[in-house]
């Protein structure tokens, strides 16, 4: 399966140099959101990487070569680290594009954001799981987080920072997706990313859509891609969906009939129509060919290196090895890049080379890193239109 125009290809050797490096600077956070990957705690862990160790980590990231990976400082809440501005300043000074992913606490305010911008911050990512305080705060389990998020979003935009909005999709908030898309269109964002649940951390308790519903959601996200810049997190089969939709579009075929889309797709589409999210406003941006361990690496607060923040298997620790050697040479990272190791439907799938499924979700669901992705409903070989046009790009 050729990626064609349906997947954006990172023009670098992803086995040698990641495109994105995410570091969990701390697990401390004043919030305790119901879905938290990090199972955040109120206080900082004495074992977390200190300032000098973080500087050394950033030096190691720069040593991957040019262009340097984007470096995202996440948490917990990065604002729990008093050295956050120093970290951003240092990263910027050695050439790293710096991003921060803060929690919606009182620390997320125009003064602290201006300090980050002055230190050299390029981008900010914020969580938004509902289009109103009522829905978002209920989803997060914490009153006031919607307004703080909106205030931080607006302030960051006014300061010229790029903003990524992240939305976790569950059965409790899936009908908010069109309203969130509308908000993203109105306020403006670099990216809107829909997180497809991985049953890990506190997310284990959330109400995940079925695989068939995820097909509906991803097809809706594809449609929204011509209104706002959509992407997915742990939704690797969005690349397969994008490919299918591009092919159907070229052939003038109806995606509902061809892909068997269901009532959720129809109701999201109707809502979007009612909100005026119909006329194309931008050129759709194809998903990037980056996946866990293959263009992407996560470092925990204690320095453990993982292919994804949702995959609790470590390939080594930056306190005892370089990130470069772990990323390039470890058995775990080499294995996760090898599509011939995939099993079940992912192992038989003609889209495996551009998708491969979520290894984090496969592991969380079955204990087998290479099992099929349980939130993908695709039956390998069933996309006949794809076979007819395979190779045509
Ligand atoms: S079966 Fe696996 S490889 Fe194929 S599209 Fe689904 S998740 Fe991707």
Could you tell which of 372, 379, 382, 383 is best to mutate to test the pocket of ligand 1, judged by most ligand atoms within 8 Å of the CB? 372
Assigned fold of 20-291: TIM Barrel (3.20.20)
Residue 338 Cα to ligand 1 midpoint, Å, equals: 14
Evaluate whether 245 touches 222 at the Cβ level (below 8 Å). Answer: yes
pLDDT of 262 higher than 80: yes
Closest atom of ligand 1 to 376 CA is 6
Digit-coded pLDDT (tens) for 125-180: 999 999 999 999 888 878 889 999 999 999 999 999 999 999 999 999 999 999 99
Mean per-residue pLDDT, 220-248 = 96
pLDDT of 190 higher than 60: yes
Residue 239 Cα to ligand 1 midpoint, Å, equals: 9
Q: How many CB atoms lie within 10 A of CB 42?
A: 11
Q: Residue 287: CB within 6 Å of ligand 1?
A: no
Mean per-residue pLDDT, 183-199 = 94
Give the least confident one: 28-37, 113-122, 247-256, 282-291. 28-37
Tell which wins on pLDDT, 40 or 369.
Answer: 369
Q: Would you kindly state where each structural domain of the chain is located, as residue ranges?
A: 20-291
Q: Residue 376: CB within 6 Å of ligand 1?
A: yes
- Residue whose CA is closest, atom 6 of ligand 1? 376
pLDDT of 352 higher than 90: yes
Q: Residue 81: CB within 6 Å of ligand 1?
A: no
Q: Residue 361: CB within 6 Å of ligand 1?
A: no
Evaluate whether 239 touches 7 at the Cβ level (below 8 Å). Answer: yes
Could you tell which of 211, 236, 347 is best to mutate to test the pocket of ligand 1, judged by most ligand atoms within 8 Å of the CB? 236
Closest atom of ligand 1 to 356 CA is 3
> Could you tell me the pTM of the whole model?
0.92
What value does the mean pLDDT of the chain take?
91
d(CA 182, CA 105): 24
Cis peptide before 298 (omega within 30 of 0): no
d(CA 195, CA 57): 27
């Amino acid at each position: 399966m050729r990626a064609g125009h349906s997947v954006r290809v990172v023009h670098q050797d992803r086995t040698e140099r990641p495109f994105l490096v995410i570091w969990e600077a701390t697990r401390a956070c004043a919030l305790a959101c119901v879905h938290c990957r990090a199972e955040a705690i109120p206080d900082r862990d004495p074992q977390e990487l200190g300032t000098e160790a973080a500087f050394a980590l950033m030096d190691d990231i720069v040593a991957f070569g040019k262009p340097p990976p984007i470096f995202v400082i996440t948490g917990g809440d990065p604002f729990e680290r008093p050295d956050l501005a120093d970290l951003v300043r240092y990263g910027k000074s050695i050439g790293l594009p710096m991003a921060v992913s803060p929690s919606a606490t009182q620390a997320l305010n125009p003064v602290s954001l201006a300090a980050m911008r002055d230190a050299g911050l390029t981008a900010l990512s914020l969580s938004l799981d509902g289009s109103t305080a009522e829905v978002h705060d209920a989803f997060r389990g914490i009153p006031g987080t919607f307004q703080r998020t909106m205030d931080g979003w607006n302030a960051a935009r006014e300061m010229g920072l790029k903003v990524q909005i992240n939305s976790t999709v569950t059965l409790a908030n899936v009908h908010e997706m069109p309203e969130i898309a509308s908000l993203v269109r109105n306020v403006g964002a670099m990216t809107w990313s829909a997180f497809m649940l991985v049953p890990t951390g506190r997310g284990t308790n959330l109400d995940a859509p079925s695989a068939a519903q995820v097909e509906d959601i991803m097809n809706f996200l594809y449609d929204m891609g011509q209104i706002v810049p959509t992407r997915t997190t742990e939704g690797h089969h969005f690349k397969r969906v994008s490919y299918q939709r591009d092919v159907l579009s070229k052939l003038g075929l109806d995606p509902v009939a061809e892909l068997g889309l269901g009532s959720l797709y129809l109701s999201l589409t109707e809502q979007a129509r009612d909100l005026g999210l119909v006329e194309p406003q931008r050129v759709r941006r194809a998903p990037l060919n980056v996946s866990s361990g293959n263009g992407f690496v996560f470092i925990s607060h204690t320095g453990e290196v993982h292919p994804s923040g949702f995959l609790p298997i470590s390939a080594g620790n930056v306190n005892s090895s370089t990130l470069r050697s772990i990323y390039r040479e470890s058995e775990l990272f080499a294995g996760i890049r090898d599509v011939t190791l995939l099993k079940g439907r992912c192992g038989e799938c003609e889209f495996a080379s551009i998708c491969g499924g979520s290894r984090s979700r496969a592991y969380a669901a079955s204990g087998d890193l290479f099992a099929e992705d349980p939130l993908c409903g695709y039956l390998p070989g069933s996309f006949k239109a794809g076979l007819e046009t395979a190779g045509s790009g």
